[in-house]
């Protein structure tokens, strides 16, 4: 299965690098400056789960000529429009696009551009960044990748993709409901951002302040209600876990 990873930053570089290290057929679509760094120093991962140094297969925008089976889209939301144009030559009738962006809005944009059948859902959970040398620094052991059909069906292509992504040095799983996973990550991030930005402090500082925990709980409930209005089927145990995490 031919895999195109769009971006070789903290997310794309980590999961794509692990896949390549495990022998999968991986190509990275990168900008020129990133390509120069990777050609000069290789793709380097520093991780508590094991370091990686390799010479990745690279392609730059404008040089794509072939279709790929899977496209892992790992750009930020503000780069989505440009990325859609860049990957267009790589999208064939059987290509599955698996975006790892946060939020929900990117799904509609991708489906409008490439058709509903081309787009799947994806969620990653990892704490990583690029350091000043362009190395991918993975901070804590969790490194999870979830994916699935947006109608939650167990399709044949999902089975093929699952087989390609498993056993590659990170935790990979075809989610029972990828839309639920997307909403629940959105609830966590929106609540975290809302609490810390509005109160101008860390989670711990807010929880320790008078009225801080009550504020955090109210905001989490408001965020959850927005998700429910968007189609999320509330799971009380997940909201309780999120609340416990964000009120410590």
By annotation, the residues acting in catalysis are 185
In this structure, are residues 69 and 162 in contact, taking their beta carbons and an 8 Å threshold?
A: no
How many other C-beta atoms lie within 10 A of the C-beta of residue 47? 21
Nearest alpha-carbon partner for 175 in 146, 154, 198? 146
| H or E element that contains 219 | helix 212-229
Q: Mind giving me the DSSP string for 108-173?
A: HHHHHHH-GGGB-EEEEEEEEEE-TTS-EEEEEEEEEEEEE-TT----HHHHHHHHHHSSSSSEEE
Structure tokens at 116: 């509903």
DSSP-assigned letter for residue 88: G
Nearest alpha-carbon partner for 33 in 128, 134, 138? 134
Give strand ranges (E) for 65-120: 70-73, 96-99
Structure tokens at 57: 């297969």
Distance of CA 120 to the CA centre of its chain: 12
């Amino acid at each position: 299965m031919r895999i195109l990873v769009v971006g070789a930053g903290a997310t794309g570089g980590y999961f794509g690098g692990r896949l390549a290290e495990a022998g999968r057929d991986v190509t990275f679509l990168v900008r020129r400056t990133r390509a120069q760094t990777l050609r000069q120093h290789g793709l380097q991962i520093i991780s508590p789960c094991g370091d990686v140094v390799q010479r990745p297969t690279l392609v730059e925008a404008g040089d794509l000529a072939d279709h790929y089976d899977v496209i892992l889209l790992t750009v930020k939301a503000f780069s989505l429009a440009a990325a859609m144009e860049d990957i267009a030559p790589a999208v064939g009738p059987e290509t599955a696009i698996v975006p790892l962006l946060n939020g929900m809005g990117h799904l509609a944009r991708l489906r409008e551009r490439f058709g509903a059948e081309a787009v799947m859902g994806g969620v990653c959970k990892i704490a990583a960044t690029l350091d000043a040398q362009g190395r991918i620094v993975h901070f804590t052991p969790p490194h999870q990748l979830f994916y699935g059909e947006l109608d939650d069906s167990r399709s044949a292509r999902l089975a093929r993709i699952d087989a390609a992504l498993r056993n590659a040095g990170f935790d990979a799983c075809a989610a029972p409901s990828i839309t639920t996973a997307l909403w629940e990550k959105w609830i966590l991030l929106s609540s975290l951002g809302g609490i810390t930005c509005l109160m101008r402090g860390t989670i711990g500082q807010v929880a320790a302040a008078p009225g801080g925990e009550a504020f955090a709980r109210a905001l989490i409930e408001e965020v959850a209600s927005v998700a429910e209005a968007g189609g999320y089927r509330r799971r009380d145990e997940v909201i309780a876990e999120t609340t416990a995490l964000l009120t410590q």
